[in-house]
Amino acid sequence: MNKGLKRAIRWAISLAIIVLLVIFARTINWHQAWDSMRHASLPLLAAAIGVNLLSVIIKGVRWWLFLRPVGIKSLPLSLRATIAGAGLNNVLVAQGGDAARVVFVSRSSGVSSATVLASMALERLFDPIGFVMLLVGGVLLFDLPAQFEHWRTPAEILLVVIVALLAFFVYATRNAEPEHVPERRAKPRSLGGKMKAYLVSFGKSARLLVSGPRFAMAILLSLLSWGAQLATFALSAAAAHVSIPTAGSLACLLAINVGLILRATPGNVGFFQFAYALMAEQFGVSRNDAIAVSLLIQTIQIIPLTALGVLLAPEFIFRRGRGAEEPERVAELKALEKKLSEGPPPMIPPEDEKVIERNKPS
């Protein structure tokens, strides 16, 4: 593919993402959002944007914990892919950005998509785990509305079950017998066989990633990420000069993130405003103020991340990672080394000269 065509395709992809963003932006009442931002405290607004980005960065670090055991050591790669995926989630339904970041990292590193998917699947488990822990802790430490009190006992039971299942998962995977049947390792040719092989590869990768210390660190990072989200809510309300206690911001955060079960619309538009207003009114915040703050929070959460996602997505799509090239280079050099170790040939064949030239230090 020539550079001109590649550049044209890159711009077309960026333009398509921007069009989706514009279509999505038309669903927001920008008059109210602008009015709330126009009178907002700029230092507090900047702090809210920074803390919100910090919560996504923490998730990138959490994913990096699970990428390292499969040979992806680059923390910047994990962070860029996480930010790009979070930005694309704001314009794609059904968490489409998460599927994109699997492709991004697999393409950039050369590691199979099944392995990267296994790392992300395990990493994403800790979002709902952190949510349940936040819910239990919030009910125990704060005076939340009665709706949450009804969920206290079920949440505590669920938390105990989650901890038990994680412990069992660690034990079962660390003590599983390795696969030694040669015919099962044969390269499949049928579609069903390829799908089965992909799932087997997924399972093996998951087994490699499981460890108690890694799970404990992932839980800690999840709580830090949720804490940063709570700080984003509190700082946004303060920036809009709306008085709401920490318990109120926590109640709004918990109610809104019921939408984690299914993201039916890009950015959770509509449900976000309804849930925030419903909870904030119970803490003495007027409906108009609650709607204004919810729009301000969504603007903070969506626009900066989506802009970063638009900037990063084409880079990942067209970038050929070093990881994809290194295995070929190593295989070529090993084959040549073995050939030369068998005895010096009278002359070096042309194909071997090409290998030497290709791998010569620059």
The residue type of 155 is: A
pLDDT above 90 as % of the chain: 20
CB 155 within 8 A of CB 136: yes
Q: Residue 22: pLDDT above 70?
A: no
User: Which position has the higher pLDDT, 153 or 235?
Assistant: 235
Of 312, 311, 272, whose CA–CA distance to 290 is shortest? 272
Q: Residue 353: pLDDT above 90?
A: no
Distances (CA, A) of 328 to 37, 137, 214, 357, 360: 53, 51, 31, 15, 15
Q: Residue 265: pLDDT above 50?
A: no
Tokens standing for 196? 């089965």
Of 295, 271, 309, 304, whose CA–CA distance to 86 is shortest? 309
Distances (CA, A) of 204 to 125, 198, 223: 18, 10, 28
Q: How far apart are CA 360 and CA 339, in angstroms?
A: 18
Q: How far apart are CA 81 and CA 110, in angstroms?
A: 14
Mean pLDDT is lowest, of 15-19, 236-240, 310-314, for 15-19
Mean pLDDT is lowest, of 5-9, 91-95, 121-125, 197-201, for 197-201
Predicted TM-score (pTM) of this structure: 0.70
- Determine the average pLDDT of the residues in 1-25: 66
User: ∠ CA 246-250-253 to the nearest 5 degrees?
Assistant: 140
Would you list the domain boundaries of the chain?
3-320
CB 255 within 8 A of CB 279: yes
User: H or E segment at 317?
Assistant: helix 287-318
Of 61, 50, 51, 54, whose CA–CA distance to 220 is shortest? 61
User: How is residue 70 annotated by DSSP?
Assistant: G
User: H or E segment at 214?
Assistant: helix 212-239
Q: How far apart are CA 206 and CA 185, in angstroms?
A: 18
In this prediction, residue 37 carries a pLDDT of 64
Residues in the chain, overall count: 362
Collapse the DSSP code of 100 into the 3-class scheme (helix H, G, I; strand E, B; otherwise coil) and give the result. Answer: helix
Q: How far apart are CA 69 and CA 321, in angstroms?
A: 18
In this prediction, residue 224 carries a pLDDT of 96
CB 235 within 8 A of CB 44: yes
User: How is residue 91 annotated by DSSP?
Assistant: T
Split at pLDDT 50, 70, 90, the class of 151 is confident
CB 134 within 8 A of CB 233: no
